[in-house]
Amino acid sequence: QLQLQESGPGLVQPSETLSLTCTVSGGSVSTNNYYWGWIRQPPGKGLEWIGNIVYSGSTYYNPSLKSRVTISLDTSKNQCSLNLSSVTAADTAVYFCARRRAGDSGLEDWGQGTQVTVSS
């Protein structure tokens, strides 16, 4: 049974870097069979795709966030990480990690999400 668990600071200062980790259990990030991604949801609003990464190292980012986003894999810890720099209040959201099978369009597994607030 695959489980994804997001973790990281719940409060980030404006202009700082938001750093989150998604720990994977019951599966491995060291496979090109799946893409690992991040999605966020501002309070009371819809879902926004942030980006994906695959084991081979290829990354794909939302064009509107591309200049500020980095997604990486730590195979030794079986984790996927998200860094979002120069944050503002507009980056306040619940952040989800999710897994998509290569060749399919569905995000079949999701973490429970973690709330991040950007405020001084």
Partner 1 sequence: QSALTQPASVSGSPGQSISISCTGTSSDVGRYNSVSWYQQHPGKAPKLIIYDVTNRPSGVSNRFSGSKSANTASLTISGLQAEDEADYYCNSYTTGSTWVFGGGTKLTVL
88 neighbors 14 (Cβ within 8 angstroms): yes
CA diameter of the chain: 42
Cβ proximity to partner 1: between 16 and 55 the closer is 55
Q: Going residue by residue from 8 to 47, which x/- string records binding to partner 1, judged by CB under 8 A? A: -------------------------------x------xx
What DSSP line would sit under 50-62, residue for residue? EEEEETTS-EEE-
Select the span of 13-21, 23-31, 68-76, 100-108 touching partner 1 (CB under 8 A).
Answer: 100-108
Interface residue with partner 1 among 12, 36, 52, 118 (CB under 8 A) is 52
Residues in the chain: 120
